[in-house]
Structure 1
Amino acid sequence: MGTFIQLVIDGLSAGSIYAALALAIVLVNQATGLINFAQGAMAVLSAYVAYSFLRIGVPLVLAILLAVVVSFIFGALIERFLMRRFERGDPDTAVVVTIGLLTLITGIAGWIWSFNNLQFPSLFPVQSVNILGAVVSVRSIGTTLVIVGIMILLQLLFIGTKLGLALRAVAVNPQSAAFSGLPVGRLLMVGWGLAAALGAIAGALVAPSLTLTPGMMDAALVYALAAVILGGLSSPLGVVIAAWMIGVLENLAAVYIPLIGFDLKIAVPFILIFVVLLVRPQGLFGRKDVVRV
């Protein structure tokens, strides 16, 4: 039982990291209708910004907050001067642009800070607690609680605030939103800025576990995209639950299914995607789009 609890809690911790990126992807999609494949690279860049503040003596919490602010500005500028040229054109072109942006940001990060592994301090103490025979790190608990808090705030943003409703309106139909008097351009910038800020939090959470490198978030991005597909692009709650499912199930499958093991556990989210897309293409918690003609 202790092993099972250990695997579940470790899976929730890993899933929380996937969820942070998945929430950022959902945020961009809710604001612009696009999938941002550069979200992981933007999170890594934010972690390097926080690392640079730490190097000059800024306290950890303040360094992360400053990185969040810088990331918000960076995300808004990316939307204004790059993505706006492609957002309302061919969606395939915009996807290719975000993939190119991923490569560009990764290369710039490596050029400035090198490709060596750098140590990034954790927000949470390096301690463990015993829960029903399982040894659980305080970092895992803290990471999970932070993601739960962010998920609740995003859910409230999209459902219960004028800003969230305006972001969704712009994503669904920017022309109608503009005719209604909404500042479409500024809302798009805010959407990208918020997603980049959320990515900064994800980078600060994952860097202490993996060490800081330009490609640190590549694997996490794959899992985050899987969580987005499973949970549904329209549901922040759904993508978090899907990310937790992926983290827990891949851990359990690696230990309890010999055919999979640790080498093939990455196949677990893709099997889940295949099953869910057959049964419910909009995701477990997503809404089916209804088109009236």
Structure 2
Amino acid sequence: MQQFVNTLLGGITLGMVYAAFALALVLIWRSTRVVNFAQAPMAMVTTFIALELIEHGQSYWLAFVVALVSGAVLGAVVERVVVRPVEGGPELNAVILTLGLFIVLHAAAEVVFGNRYRSFPAAFGIRGMKVGDTTIALTGFGIFTILAVLAVMALLVLLFRFTDLGLKMRAAAFNQEVARLLGVRVGRLLTLGWALAAVVGSLSGLLIAGGSLVSPSYMDTVVVYGFVAAVLGGLDSPVGAVVGGLSLGIALSFVSGYVGSQLVALAALAILMAVLFLRPDGLFAPARERRV
């Protein structure tokens, strides 16, 4: 019973980590209709900026805020300098550029920060909590991760459903020409979308790094599982991203705990294939109208 509880709690924490990254993918998709494969190295760079500040004596929370601000600046610069020149062309162009940026940021981080593993601190304890005489696999930092992801999900739902800004961002993403005719400043909103997505990505990088070792490649596997979580819930749904991440984390935790860790990647692939076969737009995507 204790193993079951610990496996479940570990899966919840792991799932929220995937959900954090999936939320960044959902935000960039909803605001620009681009899948940003460079989201992980962008988050990695801002995490290393925070680590440099911490190692030079600054407080964790100051470094935390600086990382988020750095993410916003980096996202805006990437949109203006890298993505803006290919906007209006085939959508695949922007995707290819983000893949190229993935490689460039990796190489630049290894040159600037080195490729050795470094310890990243956690804001809260990383020891399991005690319930009576039993230690359960839920840490203070794990609780912080869960609350942070739920807060981001709530803010994104509020942004896109209940604010004029969110409506304008979605209009600019779906049809730029019509949005411009309606007086929407498309260029600024696209830049804002990239900046906000980079902030959420930076948050995911900090949550993933907390209490563990980091290197320029520490988020590479998260790209895969975060993308699976986003597709599982639906790229248009913040709630779906969290539910998808949570479901994936729990499923993979049970596979690792009861079947074998070597089958985790295969299980993730099987889940992705099943969702794409049964509901290609994701579990939380709106149902399409049937035409006779």
Work out the CA distance in 2 between the residues paired with 1:194 and 1:121: 25
Work out the CA distance in 1 between the residues paired with 2:131 and 2:168: 44
Map of 2:44 onto structure 1: 44
> What is the CA-CA distance between 1:19 and the residue it aligns to?
1.0
Aligned residue pair count: 289
Work out the CA distance in 1 between the residues paired with 2:192 and 2:69: 12
> What is the CA-CA distance between 1:289 and the residue it aligns to?
6.1
Map of 1:5 onto structure 2: 5
Map of 2:176 onto structure 1: 174
> What is the CA-CA distance between 1:269 and the residue it aligns to?
2.0
Map of 1:271 onto structure 2: 270
> What is the CA-CA distance between 1:59 and the residue it aligns to?
0.8
> What is the CA-CA distance between 1:254 and the residue it aligns to?
2.3
Work out the CA distance in 1 between the residues paired with 2:182 and 2:188: 15
Q: What 5-or-longer segments of structure 2 have no aligned partner?
A: none
Q: TM-score, normalised by structure 2?
A: 0.94
Map of 2:108 onto structure 1: 108
Map of 2:138 onto structure 1: 136
Work out the CA distance in 1 between the residues paired with 2:42 and 2:290: 34
Matches within 5 A, 1:1-293: 1-130=1-130, 133=134, 134-257=136-259, 261-288=260-287
> What is the CA-CA distance between 1:209 and the residue it aligns to?
4.1
The amino acid across from 2:124 in the alignment is F
The amino acid across from 1:282 in the alignment is D
Instruction: Give the alignment's Cα RMSD to 1 decimal.
Output: 1.8
Asked whether the equivalents of residues 117 and 215 of structure 2 are also in contact (C-alpha less than 8 Å), the reply is yes
The amino acid across from 2:172 in the alignment is V
Moved more, 27-36 or 124-133: 124-133
> What is the CA-CA distance between 1:90 and the residue it aligns to?
1.3
Work out the CA distance in 2 between the residues paired with 1:128 and 1:142: 13
Work out the CA distance in 2 between the residues paired with 1:264 and 1:81: 41
The amino acid across from 2:184 in the alignment is L
Q: What 5-or-longer segments of structure 1 have no aligned partner?
A: none
> What is the CA-CA distance between 1:232 and the residue it aligns to?
0.4
The one-character-per-residue Cα deviations of 1:146-189 (angstroms, maximum 9, x if unpaired) are 11111111111111111111111111111111111111000001
Moved more, 241-250 or 280-289: 280-289
Q: Percent identity over the alignment?
A: 35
Asked whether the equivalents of residues 121 and 212 of structure 2 are also in contact (C-alpha less than 8 Å), the reply is no
Work out the CA distance in 1 between the residues paired with 2:290 and 2:216: 41
User: Is the alpha carbon distance of 1:135 and 1:73 closer, same or farther for their aligned partners in structure 2, counting shifts above 3 Å?
Assistant: closer
SS in 1 for 2:129: strand
> What is the CA-CA distance between 1:48 and the residue it aligns to?
0.8
User: Is the alpha carbon distance of 1:222 and 1:131 closer, same or farther for their aligned partners in structure 2, counting shifts above 3 Å?
Assistant: farther
The amino acid across from 1:274 in the alignment is M
The one-character-per-residue Cα deviations of 1:103-123 (angstroms, maximum 9, x if unpaired) are 111111110010001111111
SS in 1 for 2:217: coil
Work out the CA distance in 1 between the residues paired with 2:119 and 2:30: 34
Work out the CA distance in 2 between the residues paired with 1:9 and 1:87: 43
SS in 1 for 2:138: strand
Work out the CA distance in 1 between the residues paired with 2:229 and 2:211: 20
Work out the CA distance in 2 between the residues paired with 1:290 and 1:38: 34
Asked whether the equivalents of residues 34 and 87 of structure 1 are also in contact (C-alpha less than 8 Å), the reply is no
Work out the CA distance in 1 between the residues paired with 2:129 and 2:49: 32
The amino acid across from 1:245 in the alignment is S
Asked whether the equivalents of residues 24 and 196 of structure 1 are also in contact (C-alpha less than 8 Å), the reply is yes
Moved more, 119-128 or 8-17: 119-128
Q: TM-score, normalised by structure 1?
A: 0.94
Work out the CA distance in 1 between the residues paired with 2:191 and 2:180: 15
